[in-house]
Structure 1
Amino acid sequence: MGLEASYRNISDGNLKKLKSVYGIEDTCPVGVESKEQEPDIVLDIGKLWELLHFVFTGEGGNKTTGAFPLGMAVMGEVVVEGSSELLMYTTKSKMKDIVSALEAFEIEEALKKLNLEACITANLYPGIRSQTDLDGIKPELQTCFDAMKAFYRKILEADTNVIITIS
């Protein structure tokens, strides 16, 4: 069983409260409730987040690449320390760059270049140990990519932030 990634929109007010809870930013007054109504924008790419991150960045493991839009798309802009699960967020100021990077990314070419040796060396989950494994997972990666691109377009349109949980 591997770790699964879930992406969800989060309003400015609720992000501010989250930051306050984890000591990232303590400017949110105690007891203030957010009245912001968040549209329900959710993406679940399951266990393929690490492999998709590898396709985007060439990095395996739980490495974050907050400086790069494609890395941010998968692993977020900021890691929240002190959470019982891997928790990250990305502010809405980064969404235009993420959407542009996703729209410019040539997934078909990247999947053609994805090779077995690189996947084994990076020790990616799910465990890819044969060319058959790799060939079988490429269509799923294409589907994840398409879903992620659609998700971030909706996030940009809604002018909201993203919270990512990997557990």
Structure 2
Amino acid sequence: MLRKLMRKLTINCILNQATRLIICVPILWTTQFVACVKNDRVPEIISALEDFDYEKALEDFNMEDCANAGLYPNIWDKDDEDLVDELIEEISDYIEGLRDFYKKVLEAGGHALITIY
């Protein structure tokens, strides 16, 4: 799921950063994406997740940027501060969960299977 933050961060930058963290070998790409992250890449992913200042990135979270990028689901036209707060919390939880997941993979010496459907 990460690219280095070189400009003012918007949700597009956050998504681009997160995408680069999933350093993987694609196995299947049809209506679903399936890939394997080999265990030799796990330390690099953990390092990138720990170096990524997602809290700073989320300071610039903007619903309009999400709408302009055509991100799914199409909820970005709502002018709802509570929704923004919920989304920021959800994104933060997912990033922290991803970091914890890869630490467990490292401890187990395993590989990770990534699916997007």
The two structures share one fold, judged by TM-score above 0.5? yes
RMSD in angstroms over aligned alpha carbons?
A: 2.5
Greater radius of gyration (CA) = 1
**Residue 138 of structure 1 pairs with residue 88 of structure 2:** yes
| 1:119 paired residue number | 66
Task: Quote the Cα distance in structure 1 between the aligned partners of 2:24 and 2:77.
Answer: 31
Structure 1 residue 92 displacement after superposition: 1.0
> Are the equivalent residues in 1 in contact too, given 2:63–2:77 (CA < 8 A)?
yes
Task: Quote the Cα distance in structure 2 between the aligned partners of 1:122 and 1:111.
Answer: 16
Runs of 4+ with >3 A deviation: 81-84
Q: What TM-score comes out, normalization by structure 2 length?
A: 0.73
Q: What TM-score comes out, normalization by structure 1 length?
A: 0.53
| Counterpart residue identity of residue 166, structure 1 | I
| 2:102 paired residue number | 152
Quick one: structure 1 residues 83 and 123, their matched pair in 2 at CA, closer, same or farther if it must change by over 3 Å?
closer
Greater helix share, 1 or 2? Answer: 2
Q: Deviations over 1:97-124 (max 9, x none)?
A: 0000111111111111221222112211
- Among all aligned residue pairs of Structure 1 and Structure 2, give the percentage whose two residues are the same amino acid: 29
Structure 1 residue 151 displacement after superposition: 0.4
Structure 1 residue 129 displacement after superposition: 2.1
| 1:39 paired residue number | none
